[in-house]
Protein backbone atom coordinates (compact mmCIF):
# COMPACT_ATOMS: atom_id res chain seq x y z
CA UNK A 1 0.00 0.00 0.00
CA UNK A 2 1.60 3.25 -1.18
CA UNK A 3 -0.64 5.38 1.01
CA UNK A 4 -1.69 4.33 4.48
CA UNK A 5 -4.98 5.69 5.81
CA UNK A 6 -3.27 6.92 8.96
CA UNK A 7 -1.01 9.15 6.82
CA UNK A 8 -4.09 11.05 5.67
CA UNK A 9 -5.47 11.87 9.12
CA UNK A 10 -4.16 15.44 9.25
CA UNK A 11 -2.98 16.50 5.81
CA UNK A 12 -1.37 19.96 5.84
CA UNK A 13 -1.18 21.96 2.59
CA UNK A 14 1.33 24.82 2.55
CA UNK A 15 0.52 28.45 1.83
CA UNK A 16 2.92 31.37 2.10
CA UNK A 17 0.12 33.85 2.85
CA UNK A 18 0.87 33.73 6.59
CA UNK A 19 4.68 33.53 6.55
CA UNK A 20 5.44 37.02 7.84
CA UNK A 21 9.10 36.97 8.85
CA UNK A 22 9.21 33.14 9.10
CA UNK A 23 10.34 30.61 6.52
CA UNK A 24 8.15 27.94 4.99
CA UNK A 25 10.43 25.27 6.47
CA UNK A 26 9.90 26.71 9.97
CA UNK A 27 6.16 26.79 9.41
CA UNK A 28 6.05 23.21 8.15
CA UNK A 29 8.22 21.93 10.98
CA UNK A 30 5.87 23.52 13.51
CA UNK A 31 2.97 21.65 11.91
CA UNK A 32 4.96 18.40 11.98
CA UNK A 33 5.75 18.91 15.66
CA UNK A 34 2.01 19.36 16.23
CA UNK A 35 1.18 16.07 14.51
CA UNK A 36 0.59 16.72 10.80
CA UNK A 37 0.63 13.29 9.13
CA UNK A 38 1.22 14.36 5.52
CA UNK A 39 2.58 17.52 3.88
CA UNK A 40 1.70 18.89 0.46
CA UNK A 41 3.84 21.66 -1.00
CA UNK A 42 1.61 24.00 -2.97
CA UNK A 43 3.19 26.89 -4.84
CA UNK A 44 1.74 28.94 -7.68
CA UNK A 45 4.20 31.78 -8.18
CA UNK A 46 7.75 30.59 -7.50
CA UNK A 47 10.38 30.30 -10.21
CA UNK A 48 11.56 26.78 -10.98
CA UNK A 49 14.92 26.87 -9.18
CA UNK A 50 13.49 28.38 -5.98
CA UNK A 51 10.60 25.90 -6.04
CA UNK A 52 13.01 22.97 -6.42
CA UNK A 53 15.27 24.18 -3.59
CA UNK A 54 12.24 24.61 -1.36
CA UNK A 55 10.91 21.16 -2.28
CA UNK A 56 14.23 19.52 -1.38
CA UNK A 57 14.35 21.37 1.95
CA UNK A 58 10.82 20.38 2.93
CA UNK A 59 11.31 16.82 1.74
CA UNK A 60 14.35 16.42 4.00
CA UNK A 61 12.29 17.80 6.87
CA UNK A 62 9.40 15.40 6.24
CA UNK A 63 11.77 12.44 6.03
CA UNK A 64 13.19 13.40 9.42
CA UNK A 65 9.68 13.22 10.86
CA UNK A 66 8.71 10.10 8.89
CA UNK A 67 5.84 11.89 7.12
CA UNK A 68 5.03 11.58 3.38
CA UNK A 69 5.87 14.65 1.27
CA UNK A 70 3.79 15.43 -1.81
CA UNK A 71 3.91 18.21 -4.38
CA UNK A 72 0.81 19.86 -5.79
CA UNK A 73 0.36 19.87 -9.58
CA UNK A 74 4.02 19.89 -10.64
CA UNK A 75 4.54 16.29 -11.72
CA UNK A 76 7.94 16.98 -13.31
CA UNK A 77 9.29 18.52 -10.10
CA UNK A 78 7.90 15.68 -8.00
CA UNK A 79 9.81 13.22 -10.18
CA UNK A 80 12.96 15.36 -10.21
CA UNK A 81 13.23 15.62 -6.41
CA UNK A 82 11.96 12.08 -5.81
CA UNK A 83 9.02 13.31 -3.72
CA UNK A 84 6.81 10.67 -2.10
CA UNK A 85 4.00 11.62 -4.44
CA UNK A 86 1.95 14.24 -6.21
CA UNK A 87 -1.57 15.66 -5.94
CA UNK A 88 -3.47 16.81 -9.02
CA UNK A 89 -6.79 18.55 -9.56
CA UNK A 90 -9.40 17.97 -12.24
CA UNK A 91 -7.84 20.65 -14.44
CA UNK A 92 -4.27 19.39 -14.14
CA UNK A 93 -2.66 16.43 -15.88
CA UNK A 94 -5.00 13.43 -16.16
CA UNK A 95 -4.47 10.92 -13.35
CA UNK A 96 -3.56 8.02 -15.63
CA UNK A 97 -0.83 10.08 -17.29
CA UNK A 98 0.46 11.17 -13.89
CA UNK A 99 0.67 7.55 -12.75
CA UNK A 100 2.70 6.71 -15.86
CA UNK A 101 5.13 9.54 -15.14
CA UNK A 102 5.63 8.95 -11.41
CA UNK A 103 5.71 5.16 -11.61
CA UNK A 104 3.97 2.48 -9.55
CA UNK A 105 5.56 3.22 -6.18
CA UNK A 106 4.67 6.89 -5.62
CA UNK A 107 1.53 8.28 -3.97
CA UNK A 108 -1.04 9.80 -6.32
CA UNK A 109 -3.77 12.01 -4.91
CA UNK A 110 -6.60 13.41 -7.03
CA UNK A 111 -9.20 16.07 -6.28
CA UNK A 112 -12.80 15.02 -6.96
CA UNK A 113 -16.14 16.77 -6.61
CA UNK A 114 -18.46 14.07 -7.97
CA UNK A 115 -18.83 10.30 -7.74
CA UNK A 116 -18.04 10.05 -11.46
CA UNK A 117 -14.74 11.95 -11.02
CA UNK A 118 -13.91 9.83 -7.98
CA UNK A 119 -14.46 6.53 -9.79
CA UNK A 120 -12.46 7.74 -12.79
CA UNK A 121 -9.55 8.76 -10.56
CA UNK A 122 -9.60 5.43 -8.75
CA UNK A 123 -9.57 3.54 -12.06
CA UNK A 124 -6.63 5.66 -13.24
CA UNK A 125 -4.50 4.63 -10.27
CA UNK A 126 -5.19 7.25 -7.58
CA UNK A 127 -4.22 6.24 -4.03
CA UNK A 128 -6.54 8.69 -2.31
CA UNK A 129 -9.08 11.39 -3.14
CA UNK A 130 -9.36 14.95 -1.88
CA UNK A 131 -13.06 15.83 -1.85
CA UNK A 132 -14.42 19.33 -1.30
CA UNK A 133 -14.96 22.08 -0.59
CA UNK A 134 -17.07 20.70 2.25
CA UNK A 135 -17.58 23.97 4.17
CA UNK A 136 -19.31 26.38 4.05
CA UNK A 137 -20.78 25.59 0.63
CA UNK A 138 -19.77 23.34 -2.22
CA UNK A 139 -19.81 19.60 -1.72
CA UNK A 140 -22.80 18.65 0.38
CA UNK A 141 -22.37 16.06 3.09
CA UNK A 142 -24.39 13.55 1.04
CA UNK A 143 -21.97 13.92 -1.90
CA UNK A 144 -19.04 13.29 0.42
CA UNK A 145 -20.74 10.17 1.80
CA UNK A 146 -21.67 8.98 -1.69
CA UNK A 147 -18.06 9.29 -2.87
CA UNK A 148 -16.76 7.47 0.23
CA UNK A 149 -19.23 4.64 -0.43
CA UNK A 150 -18.45 4.45 -4.15
CA UNK A 151 -14.67 4.03 -3.95
CA UNK A 152 -12.29 1.59 -2.27
CA UNK A 153 -9.49 4.12 -1.77
CA UNK A 154 -9.23 6.56 1.18
CA UNK A 155 -10.97 9.93 1.01
CA UNK A 156 -9.92 13.16 2.72
CA UNK A 157 -12.27 16.12 3.06
CA UNK A 158 -10.98 19.57 2.09
CA UNK A 159 -12.28 23.11 2.16
CA UNK A 160 -13.15 25.34 5.08
CA UNK A 161 -12.44 22.73 7.74
CA UNK A 162 -11.23 23.81 11.17
CA UNK A 163 -11.29 22.81 14.82
CA UNK A 164 -14.72 24.44 15.17
CA UNK A 165 -16.52 22.27 12.58
CA UNK A 166 -14.52 19.07 12.02
CA UNK A 167 -16.95 17.09 14.22
CA UNK A 168 -19.70 17.72 11.65
CA UNK A 169 -17.90 15.30 9.31
CA UNK A 170 -18.39 12.32 11.65
CA UNK A 171 -19.98 9.36 9.89
CA UNK A 172 -19.12 10.59 6.40
CA UNK A 173 -16.65 7.78 5.73
CA UNK A 174 -13.55 9.99 5.34
CA UNK A 175 -10.23 8.93 6.83
CA UNK A 176 -8.85 12.43 7.39
CA UNK A 177 -8.92 16.12 6.57
CA UNK A 178 -6.75 18.38 4.41
CA UNK A 179 -6.31 21.91 5.72
CA UNK A 180 -4.44 25.11 4.98
CA UNK A 181 -5.46 28.10 7.13
CA UNK A 182 -6.70 25.94 10.02
CA UNK A 183 -3.02 25.21 10.70
CA UNK A 184 -0.85 27.73 8.86
CA UNK A 185 -3.12 30.72 9.42
CA UNK A 186 -3.11 30.27 13.21
CA UNK A 187 -0.90 32.19 15.66
CA UNK A 188 0.42 28.94 17.21
CA UNK A 189 0.86 26.46 14.35
CA UNK A 190 2.06 23.59 16.51
CA UNK A 191 -0.85 23.92 18.94
CA UNK A 192 -3.36 24.31 16.10
CA UNK A 193 -2.11 21.11 14.45
CA UNK A 194 -2.19 19.21 17.73
CA UNK A 195 -5.74 20.30 18.52
CA UNK A 196 -6.93 19.43 15.01
CA UNK A 197 -5.25 16.04 15.14
CA UNK A 198 -7.05 15.13 18.37
CA UNK A 199 -10.41 16.41 17.11
CA UNK A 200 -10.03 14.56 13.81
CA UNK A 201 -9.12 11.30 15.57
CA UNK A 202 -12.21 11.73 17.74
CA UNK A 203 -14.42 12.52 14.72
CA UNK A 204 -13.23 9.45 12.79
CA UNK A 205 -13.73 7.11 15.75
CA UNK A 206 -17.41 8.03 16.00
Q: Give the catalytic positions in this structure.
A: 42, 111, 140
**DSSP code of residue 137:** S
The answer to whether residues 109 and 127 touch, using CB atoms and an 8 Å cutoff, is yes
Measured CA to CA, the distance from residue 104 to residue 2 in angstroms comes to 9
The answer to whether residues 204 and 176 touch, using CB atoms and an 8 Å cutoff, is yes
CA 90 to chain centre: 15
Going by C-alpha positions, the residue among 30, 40, 25, 63 that lies closest to residue 191 is 30
Measured CA to CA, the distance from residue 202 to residue 137 in angstroms comes to 24
- Longest Cα–Cα distance of the chain, Å, equals 45
Q: Exposure string (b/e) for 69-98, b if CB count within 10 Å is 16 or more?
A: bbbbbbbebbbebebbbbbbeeebbebeeb
Amino acid sequence: MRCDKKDLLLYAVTDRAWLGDKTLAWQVEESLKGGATMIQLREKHLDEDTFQAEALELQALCRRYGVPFLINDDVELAVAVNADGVHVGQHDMEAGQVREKIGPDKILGVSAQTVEQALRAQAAGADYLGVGAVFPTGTKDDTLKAICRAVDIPVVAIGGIGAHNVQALAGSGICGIAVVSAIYGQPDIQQAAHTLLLKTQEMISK
